[in-house]
Structure 1
Amino acid sequence: MLEFRQVHKAYATPQGPLAVLTAVDLELRPGESLALMGESGSGKSTLLHLAAGLDLPDSGEVLVDGRSISTLDEPARARLRRDTLGLVFQQFHLVPSLSVLDNLRLQARLAGCERPEWSTHLIERLGLAGMERRYPEQLSGGQQQRLAIGRALAPRPALLLADEPTGNLDETTAGEVLSLLLDLVREAGSAMLMVTHSAQVAAPLDRCLHLTHGRLGSPSGQAVSHR
């Protein structure tokens, strides 16, 4: 579902090019969940942006569902994000003028694959039943993050990319949201790549990899499987 082949990425600085990712190889199979850990500045967000087609590698290949990101123009990459990917971030990015239900349905409508029965199921599983006509500002932080997760999963994307999805929540709420996220990802049949700095958040996922100074591995040198 997602593959990095010898991916390099650097950014220009006044002191010269700054290497962010170096010779990164990664494979994520359909339906698999993978945690990507690393310290701040290790390249986690850059890797996620490359996976989403929001940026392009300097060399190497990034393939999503068998398609090389670098061969697609920006409109094609936008269609790929719309039709194949779901995105969840620390910031909820909800549309304040839309109701809970309309926010939930937004991504699926844009992708032309809205399923009313799945939307109803999501609303119930997210604990938002009875709140469909409310607006984001009327929800708690945990409710807003659950809604953002529901919006990303409403089209049942093949691949979900999550960037510290519980980073802005307190510990108890974060645990509840993470458990719900993993359950819904499995129900949707999606693969998931989650960026996190927390070993506790990473533990329930199928595998965990670690980025250190732009290079990918794990503390033991091997991918860690929980299956």
Structure 2
Amino acid sequence: MLEFTQVYKRYSTPQGPLQVLENVSLTLAPGQSLALMGESGSGKSTLLHLAAGLDLPDQGHICLAGQNLASLAESARAKLRREQLGLVFQQFHLIPSLTVIDNLRLQARLAKRDDANWSAHLIERLGLKGLEKRYPEQLSGGQQQRLAIGRALAPRPALLLADEPTGNLDETTADEVLELLLSLVRETQCALMVVTHSPQVAAPLDRCLRLRHGQLASSALL
């Protein structure tokens, strides 16, 4: 589903080039879950952006669903994101002017995969039944993150990328949201990559890799 082959990424800074990722190789099979851990500045978010085709590597290859991202035009990468990817962030990124149900179905509509029955099932599973006509500001933080997860899964993506998905939540709510996320991922059978600094978040996933100074540590595979 996702393959990095000897990927390098650097950025220009006033002090000179900054190497963010160096010789990174990894694979993620369909239906498999992977935790990516590391300290702040280790390159985790950069790797996630590359996986989503939001940025391109300086060297190496990244393939998503069998397609080399660097060989695609930006419009084709955007189409691939709509059709194959779900994205969940620490910040919920819900649209304030849309109701719960319209936020939930937004990504599916953009991907032309809107399914009213599936959306109704998600609303039930997310614990948002009866709240469909509310707006994001009328929800708790946990409810907003559950809605963000539902929006990402509404198109039934092949790969879900999550960046610190429980980072803004208290411990109890974070545990509930993580359990729901993993349950829905199993139900949809999509692959999952989670960027996290939390061993508790990483523990239930199939595999765990650790980034240190832009490199995957040799002992990272658990």
Tell me what 2:110 maps to: 110
Distance in 2 (CA, whole Å) between partners of 1:4 and 1:89 is 21
Describe the superposition over 1:91-142 as per-residue Cα deviations: whole angstroms up to 9, x where unpaired: 1111111110010000001100111111111000100000000010100000
CA distance in 2, matches of 1:159, 1:222: 22
Q: What is the rounded CA distance, in whole Å, between the counterparts of 1:32 and 1:83 in structure 2?
A: 19
- Note the residue ranges of structure 1 that are not aligned, 5 or more in a row: none
Q: TM-score, normalised by structure 2?
A: 0.99
AA aligned opposite 2:221? A
Q: Which residue of 2 aligns with 1:184?
A: 184
Structure 1 residue 223 corresponds to structure 2 residue 221: yes
1:208 equivalenced with 2:214 (yes/no): no
Tell me the TM-score normalized by structure 1. Answer: 0.96
One-letter amino acid of the structure 2 residue matched with residue 100 of structure 1: V
Unaligned ranges ≥5, structure 2:
none
Is 1:68 matched with 2:68? yes
Matches within 5 A, 1:46-195: 46-195=46-195
User: Which string of whole-angstrom CA distances, capped at 9 and with x for unpartnered residues, describes residues 52-76 of structure 1?
Assistant: 0000000000100010110011111
Distance 1:33 1:117 in 2: 26
Output the CA distance in 1 between the equivalents of 2:86 and 2:208: 20
Kept after mapping to 1: 8 A contact 2:208/2:220: no
Amino acid at match of 2:151: R
- Match in the other structure for 1:41: 41
What is the percent sequence identity of the aligned residues?
Answer: 74
CA distance in 2, matches of 1:102, 1:223: 40
Say what the alpha-carbon RMSD is for the aligned residues: 0.8
1:222 Cα offset (Å): 5.2
Summarize the Cα distance change of 1:133–1:143 in structure 2 as closer, same or farther, 3 Å threshold: same
Counterpart Cα distance in 1 of 2:74 and 2:201: 33
Q: Give the whole-Å Cα distance in 2 for the aligned partners of 1:53 and 1:86.
A: 12
